[in-house]
Amino acid sequence: MPADHPTPPASPPAPLLDTRALEAALARFADERDWAPFHTPRNLVMALTGEVGELNEIFQWMTEAEAAQAAVHPDTARPVRDELADVLLYLVRLASVLGVDLDEAVRHKLVTNARKYPVESSRGSSRKSGA
């Protein structure tokens, strides 16, 4: 770049995950019901785990072929969506209550995973890293 055109300051990267509107909606939902006192980190972790369990129940005992169709099969399409939403809602609420920036956490974890599983040694392998 020519000297008479200085490099513009780097702008922050666009977020991979912008949960601000959802965090606000969840806070409003809890505040309207005076549920904020119940939304402690411990309670939210347990609620999140319960919702993951409900998602697990849908897939339990399915064949791989049935599981691959779970989001489109008439019997399970709605329940899959409902439980995925429940997991996301509790996850976002938990992060919000803890003051965790999920976008930063996700970005950091993607970098960590890329270092932990280099393409050259990980391609086609399901082997888990020791760390």
Residues in contact with Mg ion by the rule CB under 5 A: 51, 54, 86
We find the least distance from the C-beta atom of residue 83 to Mg ion, in angstroms, to be 5
Residue among 15 and 79 whose Cβ is closer to Mg ion: 79
CA atoms within 13 A on the CB side of 18: 4
Tokens of 12: 């922050």
We find the least distance from the C-beta atom of residue 86 to Mg ion, in angstroms, to be 4
Residue among 54 and 101 whose Cβ is closer to Mg ion: 54
Helices (H), the chain: 20-32, 41-59, 64-68, 77-98, 102-116, 119-122
CB 69 within 8 A of CB 75: no
Of 103, 82, 81, 83, residue with least CA distance to 92: 103
Chain residue at closest Cβ approach to Mg ion:
86
Residue among 51 and 96 whose Cβ is closer to Mg ion: 51
Residue among 41 and 53 whose Cβ is closer to Mg ion: 53
The CA radius of gyration of the chain, in Å to the nearest whole number, is 20
The residue whose two tokens read 């965790």 is 100
